[in-house]
Amino acid sequence: MNVLLQYATVLILTAFVGTEIIAKVPSILHTPLMSGSNAIHGVILVGSMLILGGSTTNLQEVLGFLAVILATLNVVGGFVVTDRMLEMFKPRTPRVKETPTDEVTP
Amino acid sequence: MSRETLIDLLYLFSATTFIVALKGLGSPKHARRGNMVAAFGMLVAVVATFFKYVDGHSLRHVWLILLAMFIGVIIAVPTARFVKMTAMPQLVAIFNGVGGGAASLVSMTEFIHIKSSHPATYVILEVLLGVLIGTVSFAGSAIAFAKLQELMTGRPVTYPGQQLINGVVGVAAVTLIVTILVTASTSLLWVLLVLSFVLGVIFVLPIGGADVPVLISLLNAFTGLAVAASGFTLGSNLLIVAGTLVGASGILLTRLMSKAMGRSLSNVLFSAFGSVVTASGATTRDDGRSVRSGTPEDIAILLGFSSRVVIIPGYGLAVAQGQHVLRELAELLESKGIEVFYAIHPVAGRMPGHMNVLLAEANVPYESLLEMDEANSELATADVALVVGANDTVNPAAIDDPGSPIYGMPIIHADLAENVVFLKRSMRPGFAGIENDLLYNPKTTLVFGDAKDTLTKMVAAVKAN
């Protein structure tokens, strides 16, 4: 199969899968969704490594080096901050119901 | 099994973990684990890449790669660990921007690399799209960061002939792309890089502070698409999957956010909202209508006699750093058997879902956070709607005043509650600069002052009663 067609197939199918899954994310988690998906596009780190690792001229080395730094920032920062946020989302702690000592009725 | 096949299998594994992570975000219970799974998947992909052959050689410059990664890690970890939750939009903007920048650099370098082999036209097109979208995302995110960090004005920046200039730059970029497609010139690629940068800047400048949630979502989608474009160029399914997932998420959030503001995306992007509004609003309504104000102690008594309270927080609460005191007040009321909920408008805060994070940080359990529709049905039977630092999101003008700039925006119906209490610093209109009729409603009581101070006094008064 033509490579372009194969990539396009992956793109289209992923777009549908992504839309289906993301539509189910509740709005209270939209900020972690954003920073988490941010971390996921940090996968450009893989591309940056290949660019730097395949570079043959100084120019390519400089650009590739920059790309690896930026992509690492993206991926590491993204995952760390998302984890920090998600850690804060806690369910109600089951508390022992306090006996209503102070009656509110006048 | 050959080495390449094994690496591709590991990439497939990583791509799967990304989908698992997004699925985990379907509930707060599994979200954290999902994120860790994706981080592990990413690690696998990165380690596998070290063993990959490029042009028949094993990876060159391994130490240089490790050095660059080390630099990235020592900047990223402390930043991500210690940033304040109120500054989350800036941080997301900047991480998003660097991702776009990296995608753009990858596309560009690959072009220089493969140019000698006379690549097919569609390959050049992928490169150019990667450079264009990635750079626009980089420059746009930088400006969004500057606006959010208040390094520059949060108001829309406008100048005469703005639309025309933006249009000309846009057309120039497209023309340039066509020219490069025909000539495959490297020097013109640098021109495209500069032009994309300019485009990113002038595209974001006229977008005002209140519209930043939409903007960040959109830039997120851009970076995703730039990564997918790089994936096409490099022939990597992993990059295509990851980039497309993020693109889909960004586009979906962008649509949700514009819907939550009752405006079309093009209206958000191209109308320089805030500047127009401040000119027209606030002038007509100063007709001496009176408002009723109360003391924190009055409100404490009112709350004490309620059975159901809905709190409507806005970004003003976070500015006053009042989340913790608010949670204390809510817990105190709950201990008296009063039901307390938080009604969260989708655009409360500076990015999608921001208010939820700020409240979660203050240890508010996520079961108490209601989405807008749910909140509106609770409000009908509520005794008190306590509006803290919010304004536009409860403004009835969005429903009944077709002339209002926010007309059509879905709001939280605070006016359905028996009593409405506003904690406000002053009578100044909100972020969008629009007068709010609800303040003059006979069932409304205003408490002026710093939200944190007022809440602290209310906590003391409720305790005393």
Residue type, B311: I
Q: How confident is the model at residue B454 (pLDDT cuts 50, 70, 90)?
A: very high
B134 vs B153, higher pLDDT: B134
Catalytic (active site) residue B373: no
Can you state the angle between helices B296-304 and B451-464, rounded to 10 degrees?
50
- Band the pLDDT of B272: cuts 50, 70, 90: low
Q: Where are the domains of chain B?
A: 1-82, 86-280, 296-464
Residue B373 tokens, joined:
């529709």
Give me the residue from B109, B216, B228 closest to A11, CB to CB: B228
* Chain-centre distance for alpha carbon A90: 20
Residues A53-65, mean pLDDT to the nearest whole number:
94
Residues whose CB is less than 8 angstroms from the CB of residue B67 and which lie 6 or more positions away in sequence, other chains included:
none
Query: Minimal CA–CA distance to B342: which of B304, B289, B382, B305?
Result: B382
**Tokens of residue B422, six digits:** 């506003």
Q: Tokens 């536009």 — which residue?
A: B392
The answer to whether B99 touches B227, Cβ cutoff 8 Å, is yes
| Coil/strand/helix, residue B104 | helix
Residue A93: how many CB atoms within 10 A of its CB? 7
| pLDDT (average), residues B445-457 | 92
Give the position of tokens 């109600």: A92
Tokens of B46: 């990165």
Could you tell me if A105 lies within 8 Å of chain B, comparing CB atoms?
no
Q: Of residues B402 and A38, which shows the higher confidence score?
A: A38
How far does CA B417 lie from the centroid of its chain?
A: 30
Give me the residues of B, 361-390, that contact A with CB < 8 A: 361, 363, 365-369, 371
Looking at the DSSP assignment, which residues form a beta bridge with residue B339?
B308
Q: Per-residue pLDDT tens for B329-379?
A: 999 999 999 999 999 998 888 888 999 999 999 999 999 999 999 999 999
pLDDT for the residue B261: 85
8 Å CB contact of A80 and B98:
no
Confidence of residue A105 (pLDDT cuts 50, 70, 90): very low
pLDDT of residue A101: 47
Please name every residue paired with B57 in a beta bridge, in sequence order, or none if there are none. Answer: B54
CB contact under 8 A, B105 and A48: yes
**What pLDDT score was predicted for residue A106?**
46
> CB neighbours (10 Å) of residue B453?
14
Half-sphere exposure of B318 (CA within 13 A, CB side): 20
Predicted pLDDT at B281: 39
Structure tokens at B400: 């009944």
Strand B57-58 and strand B53-54: the pairing is: antiparallel
- Amino acid B222: pLDDT: 96
Contact yes or no for A31/B28 (Cβ under 8 A) = no
Q: Chain B: give the shortest CA distance to residue A94, in Å.
A: 11
Decide which of A47 and B318 is more confident.
A47
How buried is residue A16: exposed, middle or buried, by Cβ count under 10 Å (0-12/13-18/19+)? exposed
Mean pLDDT across the stretch B283-291? 59
Q: Residue A95's pLDDT is what?
A: 54
Helix (H) / strand (E) element for B54: namely strand B53-54
- Written as six digits, the tokens of B458 are 């209310």
Each residue's pLDDT tens digit, B179-235? 999 888 888 999 999 999 999 999 999 888 778 888 999 999 999 999 999 999 999
pTM of the model: 0.89
CA–CA separation, B446 and B293 (whole Å): 4
Provide the pLDDT for residue A94.
Answer: 63
Give the span between the Cα atoms of B111 and B186, in whole angstroms: 8
Smallest Cα distance from A16 to chain B, Å: 8
ipTM for the predicted complex comes to: 0.89
* Percent of chain B with pLDDT strictly greater than 70: 95
Would you state the structure tokens that stand for residue A71, as one six-digit string?
Answer: 């992509």
| Higher per-residue pLDDT: B149 or B138 | B138
pLDDT of residue B315: 87
- Whole-angstrom distance, CA of residue B370 vs CA of residue A36: 22
pLDDT, mean of residues B125-148: 94
Tell which CATH architecture fits domain B296-464. Answer: 3-Layer(aba) Sandwich (3.40)
CA distance B165 to B176: 16
Instruction: State the nearest Cα–Cα gap between B436 and chain A, in angstroms.
Output: 26
Q: What is the pLDDT of residue A1?
A: 62
What is the pLDDT averaged over residues B406-410?
87
Q: Collapse the DSSP code of B370 into the 3-class scheme (helix H, G, I; strand E, B; otherwise coil) and give the result.
A: strand
Pairing of strands B419-424, B339-343: unpaired
> What is the model's pLDDT at position B260?
87
How high is the mean pLDDT of chain B? 89
HEC profile for B142-195?
HHHHHHHCCCCCCCCCCCCCHHHHHHHHHHHHHHHHHHHHHHCCHHHHHHHHHH
* pLDDT level of residue B430 (50, 70, 90 thresholds): low
Decide if B92 and A35 are in contact by the 8 Å CB cutoff.
yes
Contact (CB<8Å) A29/B356 = yes
- Which residues fall within 8 angstroms of residue A103, CB to CB, at 6 or more apart? none
Q: How far apart are the first and last CA of chain B?
A: 75
List, in order, residues 6 or more apart from B446 with CB less than 8 Å away. B291, B292, B293, B294, B421, B422, B424, B439
Residue B217 near residue B353 (C-beta atoms within 8 A):
no
* A103 pLDDT more than 50: no
Helix (H, G, I), strand (E, B) or coil at B371: coil
- Residue given tokens 């690492």 in the structure block: A72
Alpha-carbon distances, residue B401 vs B158, B398, B434 (angstroms): 27, 6, 12
φ and ψ at A14, to 5 degrees?
Answer: -60, -40
**B38 to chain A: which residues are within 8 Å by CB?**
36, 39-40, 79
Contact in structure between A28 and B369 (CB atoms under 8 Å): yes
Torsion, Cα of B376, B382, B388, B392 (10° steps): 30
Separation CA B237–CA B11 (nearest Å) = 8
Structure confidence at residue B355 (pLDDT): 93
Mean pLDDT of the region B385-396: 90
